Amino acid sequence: MLMAAAAFAPACAQAPETVGREAQIRLTVTSEGSRTVDVEGLPSEDLAFLARATLSPDEWAAILRVEVASDEPSLDEDEWPAVLGVTAVSNGVLRFTPRFHFDPGQRYDVVFDPSSLPSAHSAAASSPLKLLHAVVEVPAPVHVASTHVVEVYPSGPEVPENHLRLYLVFSGPMSSSGGGAQVRLIDDQGQPVPDPFLPLELELWNEDRTRFTVLYDPGRVKRGIRPNEEMGRALVEGRTYTLVVGTDWRDAAGQPLVSEFRHEFRVGSPEERAIDPAEWTLELPAPGTRQPLAAVFSRPLDYGLLHRALRVVAEGGPLLDGVIRVEQGETRWVFTPRASWQAGEYHLVAAPSLEDVAGNRIGRPFEVASSNGQPLHGAEGASLPFRLPGLAGDHAVSEEYNPEIR
Amino acid sequence: MPTTRVILLLITALILAPAGVVSAENSTATNGVTPAFKHIGKLAFGPDGVIFAADGQDVSITALLLGDQMNGGVPGTKDVQAIDQKIASVLGIDVAKLLITDMVVDPNTRNTYLSVMRGMGADAMPVLLRVDGAGTIKVISLDEVRYSRIGAPNPPPAETPLVLSDGRSIPVANYPDQVDPAGLIGVQTITHMAFVDGELYVSGMSNEEFASKMRVISYPFETADEGTSVEIYHGSHGQLETFSPVFTFVPYEIDGEPSIVASYLCTPLVTFPVAALKSGSKVQGTTIAEFGNRNRPIDMIVYEKNGKDYLLMSNNQRGVMKIPTEPFSDAAAIDHHVPDTGGVPFETIESLDGVRQLDLLDSSHAMLLVELDGRMNLQAVVLP
């Protein structure tokens, strides 16, 4: 078997010498930078014949066939289909241009069968072309494992027993190779918790594939339905668990993770109440500064939603532009405005989509008592008004902030 | 820095504003030729010559006006063993780098269309393929194909008007783009699409919210605002009600009333009338059946046999179920605990194992994508 060297030089600008030269299969880089499989050194009568030929894809493949190299035998009488592409005479070579770029690191079997070409039947040919077989491969770029799990959310030491959703944040983009099976839960006896998470064929990522959403099996989380009654919740109040993310989860470059990730947490009592913003506390900035505004919650809220479901609005004005940070186990939301705070009235506004880690929303718990077919009470938004007093000297200002009740 | 507990004053919100009030981003359809996809997921057939394809990364739905490209193959679909390996061969990759995201049958030619992702990493490419009656695998070229695309059908509108107690309204951005440097905006994944009578029904699942959203979009696409986005609740066994994402559904008439029969993540079969899918409404579905533990529905089709209608549903754990629809019209809502499975009767088709995709091939056959010994086979079976 001939191993064709991967050639990186651009294809020759002029026709290669054909006389007295053996035909050979080469992997070539075209001047446009794409890779092709070329048969070089063909007699000019064959090239002329092929240049004129109008052949079907199958007929072209009978002459020059590129296949994914596989150790797997075909299941049925069919052979594996040839790689899709276009074969044509170009710059004095017979060139196969794949429809999709050759996959780096993938080996391809190439067979050139000249038996139907004129020179095979020409009495003048001193040495008829032989059937050629080559294996070509575009070298895979050298990658080393470099991606790891940066953080898990909820990041705090304790979650409620009815915890619904967690996020894994990676240091770089991940692949779509189905890594969810790498997420495991180990109990405080070192035993794996059976089937804690929802098996999903589709994966829930953020746009740049650096944040992965894991859902606990909602059938076990929700009270009163069969999976819950048969298996119970995956998490049991009072116990400690370790979330483990294995390394065999491929990043966007196809590499495994650098290291296993472990996160230990306790399980507290289930949280079955709606979010109540009246329990929140605000830490107000001083006007004239860019000090952060902080909201402190009475329970951890959903990390993802905290980045888009809480905003600051100036009275009668637009949304404030600024940077959001989520801290202290998602119990503290910190907003630093781009422009200095002005004295005046503001609202911290929560969208109805805000949830805690158990799926409870403002005004609507995750599970509510049956409404017997009546329209359900939906989640609500909330607005927490606050006032930043005028600068000292403007007019009389109290040292203490007192929320104005309207 | 003063710290204070703020008295909550105003907590009234309109969750979904009526169409016209809300200015949703990406709400207007774009038309053009040679569509580009970042990702290709769920498929559905539309009017003649149109196939809808969902882009799960861009969160858009594209109507591909394939026209004559839908013809030219041998009618029907021939069984193809190791279809995944053969597609991978055509695309020039190892089968481990191929992800089949959906399979649908063209109701006119009975050819089968598959959406796949070629590659797993940053360079993954979406590809649409067709398998015809001769078993020929053809890559559908999107070059010069006319398309109409509508964006972001599932995310909430860009702003939610928050109505204060004194009647004033504050617009609240649901997807703020200025203060989100980390790109943490929630992404919605389209779980199923179906086209009936000029309307495309779309269900989705969010990476940040557990609520169930269904959207109805008129085709030809004009604006997303013309559709509706509703939250669907369903009773779960008596005392509690909850929400859950819809995974797959079929439009179906129950007692002459156009309805949706939907499968949810953990309480599988729920019906609700199409008429209830009004903008801003909350739809209470009726749970008519439950199908067991740790089970997720994959696909559903409706078919007729010997004068009776049946639902055929494939599941990831509990095989393929045949469900007569006759009892749907007077099925009592499940409002009590059932020991195993409950509600309308069904039959598990034992001979159908490992079914990953399911669609109606013709009046007497279903087309299946079956996983067997680590390989995927495209296979037609007689409807049970």
* Chain centroid to CA B6: 43
Q: Which residues of A touch B158 (CB under 8 A)?
A: none
d(CA A30, CA A222): 59
pLDDT of res. B105: 97
Residue B170 confidence (pLDDT) above 60: no
Contact residues, B window 56-115, toward A, CB-based 8 Å cutoff: 56-57, 81-82, 85-86, 88-94, 97, 99
Share of chain A above pLDDT 90, in %: 56
Residue A122 confidence (pLDDT) above 80: no
By CB neighbour count within 10 A (0-12 exposed, 13-18 middle, 19+ buried), where does B12 fall?
A: middle
In this complex, is the C-beta atom of B172 within 8 Å of any C-beta atom belonging to chain A? yes
Going by pLDDT thresholds of 50, 70 and 90, the confidence category of residue A4 is very low
**In B152-224, where do the E strands start and end?**
159-163, 169-173, 188-196, 199-206, 213-218
- The more confident residue out of A399 and A306 is A306
Q: Which of B2, B173, B237 sits opposite A224 (nearest CB)?
A: B237
Q: Which residues of B touch A383 (CB under 8 A)?
A: 9-11, 162, 164, 170
Q: Cis omega (within 30 of 0) on the bond before B161? A: no
Q: Give the mutation candidate from A99, A220, A298, A307 for the B interface (greatest B CB count, under 10 A).
A: A307
Q: Which residues of B touch A103 (CB under 8 A)?
A: 92-94, 97, 119
Q: How many CB pairs under 8 A join A and B?
A: 317
pLDDT of res. A404: 35
Minimal-distance CA residue of chain B relative to A175: B121
- If we measure between CA atoms, which residue out of B207, B265, B203 comes closest to residue B42? B203
Q: Which of A83, A208, A227 sits opposite B266 (nearest CB)?
A: A227
- If we measure between CA atoms, which residue out of B247, B274, B318 comes closest to residue B102? B247
> Is residue A54 classed as helix, strand or coil in its secondary structure?
coil
pLDDT of res. B127: 97
Contact residues, A window 239-278, toward B, CB-based 8 Å cutoff: 250-254, 277-278
* Inter-chain residue contact B282 with A367, CB threshold 8 Å: no
Q: Chain A closest CA to B346's CA: distance in Å?
A: 18
For the residues B182-196, what does the mean pLDDT come to?
A: 66
Residue B186 confidence (pLDDT) above 60: no
Are B248 and B359 in contact by the 8 Å Cβ rule? The answer is no
End-to-end, the C-alpha distance of chain B in Å comes to 71
pLDDT of res. B180: 31
- The more confident residue out of B337 and A181 is A181
For residue B141, the cross-strand partners are none
Query: Out of A12-26, B14-28, B164-178, B328-342, which region has the weakest mean confidence (pLDDT)?
Result: B14-28
For the residues A381-393, what does the mean pLDDT come to?
A: 80
Q: Which residues of A touch B57 (CB under 8 A)?
A: 207
Residue A128 confidence (pLDDT) above 50: yes
Residue B8 confidence (pLDDT) above 50: no
In this complex, is the C-beta atom of A370 within 8 Å of any C-beta atom belonging to chain B? yes
Share of chain A above pLDDT 70, in %: 84
Task: Report residue A277 as tokens.
Answer: 């913003």
Reported ipTM? 0.82
pLDDT of res. B184: 30
For the residues A394-403, what does the mean pLDDT come to?
A: 38
Q: Are strands A240-245 and A183-187 parallel, antiparallel or unpaired?
A: antiparallel
Side-chain half-sphere exposure of A168, counting CA atoms within 13 A: 29
B81-95 per-position pLDDT tens digit: 999 999 999 999 999
pTM above 0.90, yes or no: no
* Inter-chain residue contact A218 with B238, CB threshold 8 Å: no
Q: Which residue is it, tokens 């191993």?
A: A3
In this complex, is the C-beta atom of B191 within 8 Å of any C-beta atom belonging to chain A? yes
* Inter-chain residue contact A371 with B11, CB threshold 8 Å: no
- If we measure between CA atoms, which residue out of B189, B210, B159, B16 comes closest to residue A308? B159
Top-confidence range, A189-193, A203-207, A213-217, B154-158 = A189-193
Q: Cis omega (within 30 of 0) on the bond before B220? A: yes
For the residues B356-365, what does the mean pLDDT come to?
A: 95
- If we measure between CA atoms, which residue out of A159, A181, A25 comes closest to residue A93? A25
- The number of residues making up chain B comes to 384
Q: Chain A closest CA to B184's CA: distance in Å?
A: 6
Residue B129 confidence (pLDDT) above 80: yes
Top-confidence range, A96-105, A309-318, B26-35 = A96-105
In this complex, is the C-beta atom of A77 within 8 Å of any C-beta atom belonging to chain B? no
Q: Give the mutation candidate from A195, A204, A205, A332 for the B interface (greatest B CB count, under 10 A).
A: A204
Side-chain half-sphere exposure of A380, counting CA atoms within 13 A: 17
Name, in order, each residue with C-beta under 8 angstroms of B260's C-beta and a sequence gap of 6 or more.
Answer: B201, B214, B249, B250, B251, B252, B271, B272, B273, B274, B277
Query: Out of A36-45, A344-353, A371-380, B128-137, which region has the weakest mean confidence (pLDDT)?
Result: A371-380
Element (H, E) at A218: helix A218-221
d(CA B248, CA B264): 7
In this complex, is the C-beta atom of B354 within 8 Å of any C-beta atom belonging to chain A? no
Q: Chain A closest CA to B83's CA: distance in Å?
A: 10
Going by pLDDT thresholds of 50, 70 and 90, the confidence category of residue B248 is confident
Going by pLDDT thresholds of 50, 70 and 90, the confidence category of residue B205 is confident
pLDDT of res. A393: 47
- The more confident residue out of B154 and A116 is A116
In this complex, is the C-beta atom of A102 within 8 Å of any C-beta atom belonging to chain B? yes
pLDDT of res. B293: 61
Contact residues, A window 5-64, toward B, CB-based 8 Å cutoff: none
* Inter-chain residue contact B237 with A225, CB threshold 8 Å: yes
Going by pLDDT thresholds of 50, 70 and 90, the confidence category of residue B17 is very low
